[in-house]
Amino acid sequence: MSLVSSAGAAVLAGPAPADPTLSTFGKDPWWLIGGKVLAIFVFLVLTVLMSMWVERRVIGRMQLRVGPNRTGPFGLLQGLADGVKLALKEDIVPRNVDKVVFVLAPVMSAVPAFISFAIIPFGPTVSIFGHHTALQGTDLPVAVLLVLAMSSMGVYGIVLAGWSSMSPYSLLGGLRSSAQVISYEIAMGLSFVAVFLFAGSMSTTEIVNAQANTWYAVLLFPSFVVYVITMMGESNRIPFDLPEGEGELVGGFHTEYSSLKFAMFFLAEYINLATLSALCTTLFLGGWRAPAPISTVWAGANSGWWPVLWFMVKLWLFIFFFIWLRGSLPRVRYDQLMKLGWKVLMPFSIGWILLVATIRVWKNEGHNATGVMATIAGIAIVVILLTFVWEFTRNGGGAADVAQPPPAPDHPDAGGYPVPPMDAPHYHGHRDVPRPRITETSREEVSSGTH
């Protein structure tokens, strides 16, 4: 009992005196590294199961439905039951597919999703069985670029899944996904540049430490807004789920997939949902640090195991934001998706980076740039709103189509097909061409010998 109690006390021991830095990593024993990898894997699987349950219950509440409530208490085991069902279903492989690529594509989507979460910090340095370690899998000098690289690898899985299926619907879904990710990943990378300039590092640990006083969601609010929009485009979810548009592509890139292969695509989608939310928490919301009222009143809010709670609250707030958008917004058109990425987000991000770099140089020279930063941020928000209003009014807001008066009853285009000219010789004798409509006026003209 004494051994168990001493081990439990070591696990719950307080943190090391200093916050983790980039030099903290690479010193853990093998059993602790394996434990971190296992903990991250279990956390992601449980997050996927809980995200599925929360999404079904919340959207059911929005649509005046009950949602899952049979499998397990309150339907909590519904996601697990769905996973078992998918694993045991018959695996159907179409005859003409490229089997090697067809099998590898789901793996290429799921594995990078797990790897991306290795650089996310859950908390500060703590003591586990007497060994001081950071609550993070690992860290790199270019850790954020690892997430971008893994998201690009995940797109390879989607594109190859569409190509190897030998189906026009799957191919179109894969091509849409590649174009969409290229468009929005550039804007996402540009939103990170401002964070890198202020933090002076691409390490997630250093970025969290740099937000000890002010979160970048406040200091770099335009970058935060751009990232929130682009992470919806990266996740391939409503309102940007064009690669899976069931209205025109049946199911998109995974139309020909079934059983466990389809489950891996499903798993990758929800893990990306958690990864994008965790990355936004790390880069813009202070990571595992407590909000200002709590950290101001309570000196120990950012020490020990409590920061894990603050991190989880922020993570689930973003996951709920994704779910809320899915239950509220319709799917956009593909041209609207491309226009937003290339004509709005990218030019604005480039201009914003120029301003941030200028202000950073101004601050490094010893000048006070807080007021200038707030003024420029306000101007940037106004420019964004005016851009959206201008785009909406330039396209007529959809009012041009509604305001058109209906054609007169005797107009050639009034209902049905347009009436061809009566003296056009090439229309006579063709049975597949619709005949002209006969109206009362045309009857009078025929009876009077006008035609």
The rounded distance, in Å, linking the Cα atoms of 208 and 286 is: 6
Give the tens place of pLDDT for each residue, 143-159.
Answer: 898 888 888 888 888 88
Cβ pair 153, 180 in contact under 8 A:
no
pLDDT at 312 over 90: yes
d(CA 264, CA 298): 43
Q: What angle do CA 166, 168, 169 make, to 5 degrees?
A: 110
Between residues 299 and 388, which one has the greater pLDDT?
299
- Position 410 scores a pLDDT of 54
Residue 105 has pLDDT above 80, yes or no: yes
pLDDT at 368 over 80: no
Least confident of 93-107, 290-304, 428-442: 428-442
pLDDT tens for each residue of 22-50: 777 878 888 888 889 999 999 998 999 99
* Nearest to 237, CA basis, from 260, 265, 217: 265
Q: Using pLDDT thresholds of 50, 70 and 90, give the confidence band for residue 341.
A: confident
Confidence of residue 234 (pLDDT cuts 50, 70, 90): confident
- CA of 255: how far to CAs of 156, 265, 426, in Å? 17, 11, 44
pTM value is 0.75
Helix-strand-coil split of the chain, %, nearest 5? 65, 5, 30
53 pLDDT more than 60: yes
Residues pairing with 133 in the sheet: 126
pLDDT at residue 315 in the model: 93
Q: What is the mean pLDDT of residues 333-342?
A: 82
For the residues 301-325, what does the mean pLDDT come to?
89
Average pLDDT over residues 96-114: 85
Comparing 310 with 255, the larger pLDDT belongs to: 310
Predicted local confidence at residue 400, as pLDDT: 45
Neighbouring CB atoms inside 10 A of 224's CB total: 20
What is the pLDDT at residue 446?
A: 45
Tens of pLDDT, residue by residue over 172-213, are 878 887 788 788 888 888 999 999 988 888 999 999 988 888
When comparing pLDDT for 252 and 72, which is higher? Answer: 72
- In angstroms, rounded to a whole number, what is the distance separating the alpha carbons of residues 255 and 252? 6
CA separation for the pair 192, 436 (Å, rounded): 62
**pLDDT over 80 (residue 273):** yes
Position 395 confidence tier, pLDDT thresholds 50, 70, 90: low
Predicted local confidence at residue 17, as pLDDT: 46
Q: Mean pLDDT, the chain, as a whole number? A: 78
Answer whether residue 14 shows pLDDT above 50: no
The pLDDT assigned to 428 comes to 46
Contacts of 264 (CB under 8 A, 6+ apart): 106, 107, 109, 110
CA dist 247 and 334 (Å) reads 13
Q: What residue type is 408 in one-letter code?
A: A
pLDDT (mean) for 380-406: 63
pLDDT of residue 374: 67
Residue 424 has pLDDT above 50, yes or no: no
Among 162-176, 195-209, 228-242, 415-429, the range with the most confident prediction by mean pLDDT is 195-209
| Percent of residues, the chain, with pLDDT higher than 70 | 78
- DSSP letter assigned to residue 137: S
